[in-house]
Chain A
Amino acid sequence: MASLRTPGDVDRPLLFATVTLALVGIAFVFSATSMPSAATEHGLYLKQLIWLAVALGGGAIAAAVPYRIYMGRSAWLLYAMGLVLLVLTLFIGHVGLGAQRWLGWGPFKFQPSELAKVATVVLLANFLSERRLDLTQLRSLVKPCVVAGVPFLLVLKQPDLGTSVTFLTILFTMLYWAGLPILYLFLLVSPLINVAASFYLPAWIVFAAVLSAVLYRSRLRLMPILLVVAINLVVGIVTPQVWNHLQPYQRQRISTFLDPAADPYGAGYQIIQSKIAIGSGQALGKGFLHGSQKALAFLPEQHTDFIFSVVGEETGFLGAGIVTLLYFLLIYRGIKIAHRSRNRFGSLLAIGLTAIFLYHVLVNVCMTVGLAPVTGLPLPLLSYGGTSLLTSFLQIGLIQNIAMRWREY
């Protein structure tokens, strides 16, 4: 029997899914920028290829260095760095697509939110793996909520609603994984559902009824119940007030986010064109490099945010389905690795990182098929973007790290 400290083998299905998706990505970045009418330069796939080499190296390092170094003080350091960069972005960031998301010099730009996501996962994994943690105590939820809440608000301020929600997804997934009862999770999420429901009275009544029923049957003590009710009442009253005090353009931005059809010559138009592209791919696609919707250059971000539309158009249901299944494989392996790890910290780390992938993949793919609003989130591994590719590989590397050391306590 191998010693506890000897790393095992990498998770092969995860490696396979990752590398295959990255190669598919390069092929379709090539396709999306190949036609003469393309708005961008044609050599982007070469850049992406170079970045892939860098990313593979980065991923290997992330896998090799034992993940225990992220426990304790280094987690705080990483988290502090992430926050500082997020704050910097608000002041000196590059404006792109109406929000300040980018930081960097010259050609080297990256989104500090990428670092902040990983740092938040690491710090949360530290908190939630504490031996004496009792998640049935309301008090124990305060720290995790603050740790995820601060980057959430900073990114929301940019404003980048799509990315900011990642932090909430991370928080809820990791709390669930750490053992928070599903009832508590529902109560924790209830103010957010409240915000969404408060715009439509019937929806809000249904929400209020469900919440009341759950609280009634929860057998919680009086204080927590009153707290949940109070928070929800405040949120329910404040939301419409805030909405009425927003500038018209801010309101428009939010309603466009929720309902792209409200802005038919911007986001809504892209959705329509993306749906036509994917749908017209039919069962087997129009053939690699032969997408005609793509050629119309309707989608200015077709090599980044809308790359899945190009895949769908050129390879049809067959190709789009395979890519979707590859993503499922990636996430499924992530869950398995998190489950297998004997180390509570490692397990939480793996599930948090997997949650980042899950959120990005679902939001992006659902956007291209018209099921989710336009958020500007890239499709991990497939979309063009060097630092995005590198971060994805670093995250996968970390998950592999945990896979290789699953025996360790």
Chain B
Amino acid sequence: MPFDPESLTGARHRERHFSIAVAVVFALVLLRLFTMQVLQGSKYRELSEENRIRVEVIVAPRGEIRDRNGLLLADNIPSFTVTLDPYDKTYVDTPARLDDTVRRLGEILQVEPALLRDKVRKDGRQTFLPVRLKRNVDRTTVAYIAEHESELPGVDVEFEPLRRYPLGEMASHLLGYVGEVSDKELEDPERADYLSGDLIGKMGIERQYEKILRGISGKRFVEVNAMGRKAALLGERRPVLPKRGAALTLTIDANLQRAAEQAFQPGARGAAVVMDPRTGEVLALASKPNYDPNEFSTGISQARWALLSEGGNFPLFNRAIQAAYPPGSTLKPFVALAGLMTGAIQPGTTFRETCDGAFQFGRRSFHCWDPHGHGTLALRDAVARSCDVYFYQLGIRLGLERLSDFMKELHVSDRAGIDLPQERRGLFPDVAWYDKHYGAGRWSRGLVLNLAIGQGEIALTPIKLAQMAALIANGGTLVRPHLVREVDEDGRPVPLADSTGMHVAIPPAYAATVRAAMEAVVSDPHGTGYAAKVDSVRVAGKTGTAQTHGNDHALFICFAPVESPRIAMAVLVENAGHGSTAAAPIAQKIMQAYFHPAAAESVRVVASR
């Protein structure tokens, strides 16, 4: 059969052109190989035998954190980090020597050699960089290592900025801390520019604003000769300078923060959140007990970590945002508001059953906290004296559906939305929730009585309670609590995107009624919050006592001054008893520090830079 030239049009010269093009490309590859291996071979041979090129990372200093008045809350100090290069020629030739060096370093640095060995094995696999073994090493050790350089091949001391929190334990929960990046974090594609052993924000502001605070690390190429000393920098490659992280200015007032933390008894567990009800700026956010974030910057030991994270009082736990408690009677102003807004009651409404210390519902008797009883009360006094029997009857009249619908409108079960990681969601149960957890129809309607006095399955975080107090204070706006005021980039402050709140339509008259009732809580000598009274300032508040398995939790919410509120707050003390005796006095001390600061101790002794 003859060859069919039509099978591919112009096939003959296409084949030739294509073959020639391929041949030219392969010839170029051969030329490249010839240049590298024959012409420049000796240069590369030298590089491979005597020297090796190493990259060193220049860590960028983290952005500083300051309070609203410019006081330093977190900065950096220079420190020494001891590193070991497992790819040093010595160890490549005789791997067994690595063990000797690690053992030696264990003695010098006083770290368990097994831990060092694990670290070298793990971090060395992921990068070709020297492994950072111990941070913040003292000068004596640095000098010792320098003297014994020849016995410790591949060991080096690098400069690294060390994170420092000048105020120690103060504000630890909101600031958070930094630590070495974990394996899990390294898997995240967003963390592609992190190397094993790098520091990363682990909690609080440090974690939330990691991207802003971190900066961009620089790098330099170094030729290292057989002796392990740094030879000339490669001419062709300039170092890339690090870019420091942007500084943050917080909404926190360090004086108020200190007052809040000191208002708690030593050894107490609890939280206090103070915010501006007009803007959502958080002025103080305290959680007790505290921890010292400085401990983490240098790498914390396993035992110490276990003690902090699991030991007794859980000091790492940020009770202000991570813990949810039944609000107890602090919920009553909101239940009253629900009654007013649904039309279930008027401000002057009284209920049929007078309070004689208990209330009979079906076959069950529900007690009022005061066994002597309150008699017949209307809204104002029922809130002021926290009469349970009034709210039992209000709860029945509202019913579970109406009550839970109203709470949903207030976004009680949502997060307050603070700019901190791991905020816990609140919970106000509704019919669907009970059906799901107890089975449809297998729960008693009497549950609403408990809910109406803030007991039962309701769980709210202190930050959420503060946001709700602010809602009453500002007349219907759920402001979003936030901690960062400004981001300072390249010396030019950039205000952070405003955090707008959600509006709940509350008729001004009803808001005024609830506000007046809450003021009576503090100003009325019979009021349960009399202990929160502050000279010359009109304070509105509400006490709460949440029943738990152990001793009751004490709660208090408040805002002041009543005529134009500038602060709203929630205080919680775990297992401390009554809100009126254990929580209200703490709120009083904080308000005292806010409205009459001269009397309070100032922390501005530590001059701001």
Q: Which residues of A contact B (CB under 8 A)?
A: 4, 36-37, 39, 98, 176-179, 247-249, 252-253, 261, 264-265, 269, 272-273, 275-283, 292-293, 295-298, 312, 316-317, 320-321, 324-325, 327-328, 331-332, 335-336, 338-339, 342-344, 347, 358, 362, 365-366, 369, 371, 407, 409
Cβ contacts under 8 Å, B49 to chain A: 280, 292
Pairwise interchain contact A347-B33, C-beta atoms closer than 8 A: no
Count, A-B residue pairs, CB within 8 A: 154
Pairwise interchain contact B37-A324, C-beta atoms closer than 8 A: no
Pairwise interchain contact A265-B219, C-beta atoms closer than 8 A: yes
Within 8 Å by CB of B48, from A36, A292, A335, lies: A292
Query: Closest approach, in angstroms, between the C-beta of B403 and any C-beta of chain A?
Result: 44
Which of B12-20, B348-356, B525-533, B558-566 makes up part of the contact surface?
Answer: B12-20
Query: Closest approach, in angstroms, between the C-beta of A78 and any C-beta of chain B?
Result: 23
- Secondary structure type dominating chain B contacts: helix
Within 8 Å by CB of A332, from B9, B12, B19, B38, lies: B19
Pairwise interchain contact B11-A339, C-beta atoms closer than 8 A: yes
Pairwise interchain contact A324-B41, C-beta atoms closer than 8 A: no
Query: Closest approach, in angstroms, between the C-beta of B413 and any C-beta of chain A?
Result: 32
Pairwise interchain contact A371-B32, C-beta atoms closer than 8 A: yes
Cβ contacts under 8 Å, B37 to chain A: 278-279, 281-283, 312, 316-317, 320
Within 8 Å by CB of A249, from B15, B128, B129, B193, lies: B193
* Assembled-state Cα–Cα distance A347/B49 (Å): 50
Within 8 Å by CB of B41, from A36, A178, A179, A279, lies: A279
Q: Is B366 an interface residue (CB 8 A)?
A: no
Q: Which residues of B contact A (CB under 8 A)?
A: 1, 3-4, 7-12, 14-15, 18-19, 22-23, 25-26, 29-30, 32-34, 36-38, 40-45, 47-49, 52-53, 55, 57, 87, 89, 92, 95, 125, 127-129, 189-193, 195, 219, 221, 237
* Assembled-state Cα–Cα distance A277/B53 (Å): 12
Cβ contacts under 8 Å, A275 to chain B: 36, 44
Within 8 Å by CB of B38, from A317, A331, A407, lies: A317
Q: Which residue of B lies closest to A279 (CB)?
A: B44
Pairwise interchain contact B32-A369, C-beta atoms closer than 8 A: yes
Report the 10 A-B pairs with minimum CB-CB distance, sorted nearest first. A279-B44, A282-B41, A280-B48, A317-B37, A339-B15, A179-B9, A280-B44, A280-B45, A279-B36, A328-B26
Pairwise interchain contact A279-B7, C-beta atoms closer than 8 A: no
* Assembled-state Cα–Cα distance A282/B39 (Å): 8
Pairwise interchain contact B221-A276, C-beta atoms closer than 8 A: no
Query: Closest approach, in angstroms, between the C-beta of B117 and any C-beta of chain A?
Result: 16
* Assembled-state Cα–Cα distance A265/B220 (Å): 10
Cβ contacts under 8 Å, A272 to chain B: 53
Pairwise interchain contact A332-B22, C-beta atoms closer than 8 A: yes
Cβ contacts under 8 Å, A252 to chain B: 192-193
- Secondary structure type dominating chain A contacts: helix
Pairwise interchain contact A317-B33, C-beta atoms closer than 8 A: yes
Within 8 Å by CB of B40, from A277, A279, A292, lies: A279
Pairwise interchain contact A347-B8, C-beta atoms closer than 8 A: yes
Cβ contacts under 8 Å, B221 to chain A: 264
Query: Closest approach, in angstroms, between the C-beta of B499 and any C-beta of chain A?
Result: 23
Pairwise interchain contact A369-B92, C-beta atoms closer than 8 A: no
Cβ contacts under 8 Å, B14 to chain A: 176-177, 179
Cβ contacts under 8 Å, A292 to chain B: 48-49
Query: Closest approach, in angstroms, between the C-beta of A249 and any C-beta of chain B?
Result: 5
Q: Which residue of A lies closest to B26 (CB)?
A: A328
Query: Closest approach, in angstroms, between the C-beta of A181 and any C-beta of chain B?
Result: 9
Pairwise interchain contact B55-A320, C-beta atoms closer than 8 A: no
Pairwise interchain contact A280-B41, C-beta atoms closer than 8 A: yes
20 more contacts with CB within 8 A, not counting A264-B55, A325-B26, A339-B12, are A36-B95, A39-B125, A98-B192, A176-B18, A179-B14, A269-B55, A272-B53, A276-B47, A276-B48, A279-B44, A295-B92, A297-B87, A298-B87, A321-B34, A324-B26, A324-B30, A328-B22, A358-B22, A366-B29, A371-B32
Cβ contacts under 8 Å, B30 to chain A: 321, 324-325
* Assembled-state Cα–Cα distance A312/B48 (Å): 13
Cβ contacts under 8 Å, B190 to chain A: 247, 249
* Assembled-state Cα–Cα distance A336/B36 (Å): 32
Pairwise interchain contact B8-A178, C-beta atoms closer than 8 A: yes
